[in-house]
Amino acid sequence: MANEDSLQEPQHSIQQILEAETNDFMELARIAGLDIATDFAGADLSGVDLSGADLSNADLSNANLSDANLSGVNLTLAKLSGADLSGADLRGTNLSKADLSGADLRGAKLKGVKLKGAKLSDAKLRDTDDIDANLMLYSINIAVLIGIFYIILCHPYIFVIFLIRKIRSIVKSDKSEISDDLIR
């Protein structure tokens, strides 16, 4: 009897999903009693249309979202570490403060994506479509600044040697310009 009751609940949920008059993934997940914040880590959501959905704070770590339509989705503070987002449409998506460490974004469409404060360590960004050059420059500039601060704080003598050499090269180039002017 207990087995029969335990089978009726999933059968009822399946029946509700089949009878639902929607193709909206978020609505179907709600009908099934699933919580996007916790129940989709590691899930296979490849090719799913989630466009315009609010997935802020969702745990989609290690999920397969390859070729999914995530355009205009709010993924603020989402956990997407290790997720497969290859070929996904992320145009206009808000990924502010999202954790994309180790995520595969190869071939993804990233035009207009907001990445302020996002963690991108070890993320694969090769062959992405329309990625803003500003993102790459921003990441590179931050890395350079961190390196410079590290050298200044931990090894100030290296920084001083660098400055002395730079000043010497400027002085030498100025002298050569002056001597070239005298020869003419």
What pLDDT digit, counting tens, does each position of 131-140 carry? 554 454 455 5
Give the C-alpha separation, 86 to 103, whole Å.
Answer: 9
Instruction: Name the strand (E) or helix (H) holding 6.
Output: helix 2-19
Higher pLDDT, 70 or 179: 70
Higher pLDDT, 1 or 173: 173
Question: What is the distance of C-alpha 69 from the center of its chain?
Answer: 15
Residue 141: pLDDT band (50, 70, 90) is low
- For residue 134, the model assigns a pLDDT of 40
Residues 6+ apart with CB under 8 A from 10: none
The predicted-structure confidence for 15-53, as pLDDT tens digits, reads as follows 877 787 887 778 888 888 888 778 899 999 999 999 998
* pLDDT at residue 139 in the model: 53
Assess contact for 52 and 35: CB atoms under 8 A.
no
Q: Which CATH architecture best describes the domain 36-131?
A: 3 Solenoid (2.160)
